[in-house]
Amino acid sequence: MKDPIIRIENVSKQFGTLKALDGVTNQIQRGEVVVIIGPSGSGKSTLLRTLNGLETVSEGNVYIDGVNIVDTRVNINKLRSKVGMVFQHFNLFRHKTALDNIIMPQTVVLNRKRKEAEDVARKLLEKVGIPEKAGNYPDQLSGGQQQRVAIARSLAMHPKIMLFDEATSALDPETVGGVLQLMKDLATEGMTMVVVTHEMGFAREVADRVIFMDGGQILEEATPDEFFDRPKNSRTITFLSQIL
């Protein structure tokens, strides 16, 4: 019953002389939750960013829902709206209120009417638990609240895939849990998710599969239990011993 929504084929990414990704091949199934872990500079962010075209690849192919986004003839803007991304630093539009952050991309990209977009936005603010913050600007929100708005903004585009790049790394410890819970709920609803995180508890509990990267390569992948309890690769073992 394989139904890959993401197919990464032999992808390499060169920054000058540095090989940030080195022949990465992987498939992610519809509804699967994949957690990527690995040391700093191992290429996790770069891999994630190639999945929504923020980073072009030097070699290889990336298929999203059957479309090769490396193919320059494909208009990847529309496609990109199907791949939501949540950033470590939230990146809310600083000149827009929380509500308008969620409305604006809908009206610009999906040509929704403002009224319709606002209904969607208010429902999503409700869903992420901060309906009362609709009128606040980003600098009037806590980190956790900003990240909730950012997640709502992505969800408003009805993405098929959500990418999370250390979504909780910049948050105060007491707000991390709420955002993780939100991500957990999304997973439960069947969203396909690729999550870069240092939250091993989340990985163990929510992931269907854990991928370990180092030096731009995938060195090991396994179910969370397998991965954490019986890691095979020596570098995985070293890494896990450092962080656990």
Partner 1 sequence: MAVKLMGGMLEMADIVLAKIQITINLMPFLMQGLLMTFKVSILAILFGSLLGFVLGVVRTLGYRPLTAIIGIYLHIFRGTPYLVQLYIIYFVFPSFGVGFLNFDSFTAAIVSLSLYTSSYVTEITTAAIYAIPRGQEEAARSCGMSKAEALIYVVLPQSLKMMIPPMASIYVVIIKSTAILSIIGISELTRQGEVAILRMPGDIMFVYGLIATMYFIYCYPVLRFAKWAEGAFGSIGSVQDQES
Ligand X SMILES: Nc1ncnc2c1ncn2[C@@H]1O[C@H](COP(=O)(O)OP(=O)(O)OP(=O)(O)O)[C@@H](O)[C@H]1O
Residues interacting with partner 1, by CB under 8 A?
A: 52-54, 77-85, 87, 89, 91-95, 104-105, 108-110, 150, 153-154, 157
Candidates 44-52, 94-102, 115-123, 135-143 — which segment interacts with ligand X by CB under 6 A? Answer: 44-52
**Can you say whether the dihedral through the CA atoms of 173, 177, 178, 179 is positive or negative?**
positive
The beta-strand segments (E) located in 106-190 are 161-165
The beta-strand segments (E) located in 45-189 are 59-64, 67-68, 83-86, 161-165
Candidates 40-48, 73-81, 186-194, 217-225 — which segment interacts with Mg ion by CB under 5 A? Answer: 40-48
197 binds Mg ion (CB under 5 A): no
Candidates 44-52, 70-78, 173-181, 223-231 — which segment interacts with Mg ion by CB under 5 A? Answer: 44-52
Within positions 178 to 197, which residues make up the interface with ligand X, using CB under 6 A? Answer: none
Number of other CB atoms surrounding residue 78 within 10 Å: 10
Query: Residue 139, SS3?
Result: helix
Q: How far apart are the first and last CA of the chain?
A: 34
Indicate the DSSP class of residue 111: -
Kindly tell me which of 212 and 227 has the beta carbon lying closer to ligand X.
Answer: 212
42 binds Mg ion (CB under 5 A): no
153 binds ligand X (CB under 6 A): no
158 binds ligand X (CB under 6 A): no
Within positions 67 to 96, which residues make up the interface with Mg ion, using CB under 5 A? Answer: none
The beta-strand segments (E) located in the chain are 4-15, 18-29, 33-37, 59-64, 67-68, 83-86, 161-165, 192-196, 209-214, 217-222
Q: How far is residue 20's CA from residue 17's CA, in Å, rounded to a whole number?
A: 9
41 binds ligand X (CB under 6 A): yes
Which among Mg ion, ligand X, partner 1, none contacts residue 103 (Cβ within 5 to 8 A by kind)? Answer: none
Kindly tell me which of 70 and 128 has the beta carbon lying closer to ligand X.
Answer: 70
Residues in touch with Mg ion (CB under 5 A): 45
Residues in touch with ligand X (CB under 6 A): 15, 18, 20, 38, 40-46
